[in-house]
A and B are shown apart, each in its own frame.
Chain A
Amino acid sequence: MSNVITICGSLRKGSFNRMLANALPALAPAGMTITPSPSIEMPLYNADLQAEGWPAPVIALGDAIRAADGVILVTPEYNYSMPGVLKNAIDWVSRLKDQPFANKPVCLQSATMGPLGGARVQYHARTTMVFLDAFVFNKPEIFVGMAQNKFDEKTGELKDEATRSIIKQQLEGFEKFIARHKAHND
């Protein structure tokens, strides 16, 4: 049994990554619930602003991450790295006392219209997750390349069978990863 949240790195309505996040519950093993995180839209990070108090969306995202058994980042790649909007949200919550990513099982997924499917964003995100001391899942990795051919653009449904199958494997592996982590930390 695990309760997992997805953090989507794109804000646009027709985002392939949002479609991907939405496809996960149907591909998850029994006992794993997957729900979207609260909004990642928060003011641009500024330590002077932080000194005046935490913005409400920062608290909300921090609480949601802490309350989850695991987190799946589902994000596009912008300019060969993480979207600024997503990184800004991470920069904020990283400053919270009881830092929410510390020791948290985290799994990565990305979708892009190019052939690499967001590999570069994932390896940069892994670097950041080392600093945050998250517990990052390894393999299988999910890189959904040529996303425009793999989703139904109207319904948002993930149609590609090979992708659905590897996601199923990842989520099963992530469920075990979370369970092992829980057993070790109990």
Chain B
Amino acid sequence: MLDIVTICGSLRKGSYNAALIRALPALAPAGMSFRPSASIADIPHYDFDVQAGGFPTSVTAFADSIRSADGVIIVSPEYNWTIPGTLKNAIDWVSRMKDQPFRNKPVALQSASIALLGGSRMQYHMRQCLVSVDAHCFGRPEVIVTHANQKFDEKTLEFTDQQGRDIVKQQLEAFAAYIKQFNR
């Protein structure tokens, strides 16, 4: 069984990215399970002076959830052409830990946005950050859900776009194989 932890970069209830995460189990290959990471909503603002007094429990919980996973999928909107501050703040905190949780961790990226580039700029900036934390960042296929408002059901937020569903399926299958090569 591959235990996948999902990290959502948006906090709002009606988030398309949260809706994309909810769509994953039905699109995953056999033997892949999903659980959300510990919340990033309650992590304080990164400040070395706070860190010096000890890592907050919200940070250690988030780190533990990453460490215990076989792989991580970051699903995030793009804010101002890059990573949401909320998500980046969570990464900034755990990057300071001794047993740094992203090190050698297989990570895949997904994004949804209502605009036409689908969050791709966020993903390429995130790839640069993942070099810094020494993660194994999965390559292709990329999941970039453009015009999200047309691809999720307006009421139920179900991911209805067949082409998008197919790409997600392909990514999850390939990500499973990618993770297994590190577990040999």
- Chain A positions near chain B (C-beta within 8 angstroms): 10-15, 41, 44-49, 78-91, 94, 120, 124, 127-128, 130-132
- Asked if B184 is an interface residue, CB under 8 A from chain A, the answer is no
Which residues from chain B contact A88 at a C-beta distance below 8 Å?
A: 45, 84-86, 88-89
Supply 27 A–B pairs (Cβ within 8 Å), ascending by A: A11-B45, A12-B48, A13-B49, A41-B45, A44-B11, A45-B85, A46-B41, A47-B11, A48-B13, A79-B91, A79-B129, A79-B133, A80-B132, A83-B92, A84-B90, A84-B91, A85-B47, A87-B79, A87-B83, A88-B84, A89-B85, A90-B85, A91-B79, A91-B85, A94-B79, A127-B121, A128-B82
Q: B12: which of A12, A47, A94 is its contact (CB, 8 Å)?
A: A47
Interface centre among A14, A84, A86, A94, by most chain B C-beta atoms within 10 angstroms, is A84
Whether B46 pairs with A85 at a CB distance below 8 angstroms is: yes
Given A12-B47, A79-B92, A80-B132, the answer on whether A127 and B83 have CB atoms closer than 8 Å is no
- Chain B positions near chain A (C-beta within 8 angstroms): 10-13, 40-41, 43, 45-50, 79-92, 95, 121, 125, 128-129, 131-133
Whether A91 pairs with B84 at a CB distance below 8 angstroms is: yes
Which residues from chain B contact A14 at a C-beta distance below 8 Å?
A: 48-49
Whether A94 pairs with B80 at a CB distance below 8 angstroms is: yes
Q: Least Cβ distance of A33 to chain B in Å?
A: 28
Whether B128 pairs with A80 at a CB distance below 8 angstroms is: yes
Q: Which residue of B lies closest to A81 (CB)?
A: B129
Which residues from chain B contact A91 at a C-beta distance below 8 Å?
A: 79-80, 84-86
C-alpha gap A124/B80 in the complex (Å) = 10
Q: Least Cβ distance of B123 to chain A in Å?
A: 13
